Amino acid sequence: MKTLKPDINMKCNNPDIKNLLTAYFENELAEKEERVVEEHLSHCSECLRELEEIKAFDKMLLSTPEIDPPQNSELNFKEKISQNKDISKRSMTITLNFSWREIAAAIVIFFAGTTAGLLLRTNSVTESASIANLETEISQMRQMLMAALITKESPSDRLKAVQYAEQINQPSSQVTETLIETLNSDPSVNVRLAAVNALQQFAVHQDIRSAMAASLKEQSDPLIQIVLIKMLVQMHEKSVVPTLQEFEADQQTHEMVKQEAQEALTVLL
């Protein structure tokens, strides 16, 4: 990655370049794409400034201290934080719709608040309560990252959003509704498959099972249809029966999907 200085100060009108900045910073671009980005950066001060923000944000994350537990703690806070820190330092270097300064500030506030909170609460609450609070804060951070990434143009960014959602133990209705909408309308098959897997772990709730059953009728990709049918049969979700019967009768249904539907009907009826 070269050191670049823009020739002029200008407003960027190329969103495709902005979506490549993180990959450029991490040296993940092909040589041709790298040259395109560097040529753009040579005359775009806005994108160069955003690249500098990405660098600063990455540096901040790498220098974020871990939290040491109290000496008399029965549980190892550091280990707990490590287990939950799926928001890894590198995976956090992502291009968001709002500025890197805002995200950096949010992360700093999150870790500072967590550290201060643990220190202040050490002598007043139990270790289990502190861990519960920490997990809540991490869950909120994941929800924030999901919301920021799910509307991105890049399928890999939207896939990250679904993966963050899958790591939330107690998702809000907004999270599950976003996953259902993603399952129904995302143009990427891989993203929709990830949404199915994420929803499966939340399917203890009837409204989510019903939404998954309704989604089956909206799907056109045979792979997603088969995966959904298998999951709904495992859940013994009978509201899917009419759709399965339609698949069985429709001559245009993919043969493997039709076979899966027939087998599912023998279980559910």
Domain boundaries, the chain: 1-63
Nearest to 25, CA basis, from 7, 4, 11: 4
- 12 pLDDT band, cuts 50/70/90, is confident
More confident position, 228 or 96: 228
Q: Which residues contact 21 (CB under 8 A, 6 or more apart)?
A: 37, 47, 50, 51, 54, 95
Q: What is the 3-state secondary structure (H, E, C) of 12-48?
A: CCCHHHHCCHHHHHCCCCCHHHHHHHHHHHCCCHHHH
pLDDT in tens, 178-192: 999 999 999 988 899
Q: Which residues contact 104 (CB under 8 A, 6 or more apart)?
A: 53, 56, 57, 60
Residue 220 parent element (H or E)? none
- 130 pLDDT band, cuts 50/70/90, is low
Residue 68 parent element (H or E)? none
- pLDDT for position 232: 94
pLDDT in tens, 29-69: 888 888 888 888 888 888 888 888 777 666 655 554 444 44
Kindly report each contact of residues 105-113 with a partner whose C-beta sits within 8 Å and lies 24 or more positions away, as own/partner.
106/141, 106/144, 107/57, 107/60, 107/61, 107/64, 107/141, 108/60, 110/137, 110/141, 111/64, 111/65, 113/137
> Which of 12-16, 24-28, 35-39, 234-238 shows the lowest per-residue confidence on average (mean pLDDT)?
12-16
Place of tokens 């990709």: 221
Let me know: does 208 contact 202? Beta carbons within 8 Å. Answer: yes
Nearest to 154, CA basis, from 104, 97, 239, 99: 97
Distance of CA 149 to the CA centre of its chain: 7
In the chain, the percentage of residues whose pLDDT exceeds 90 is 27
- For residue 112, give the amino acid letter: A
pLDDT in tens, 205-215: 899 999 999 99
- pLDDT for position 79: 54
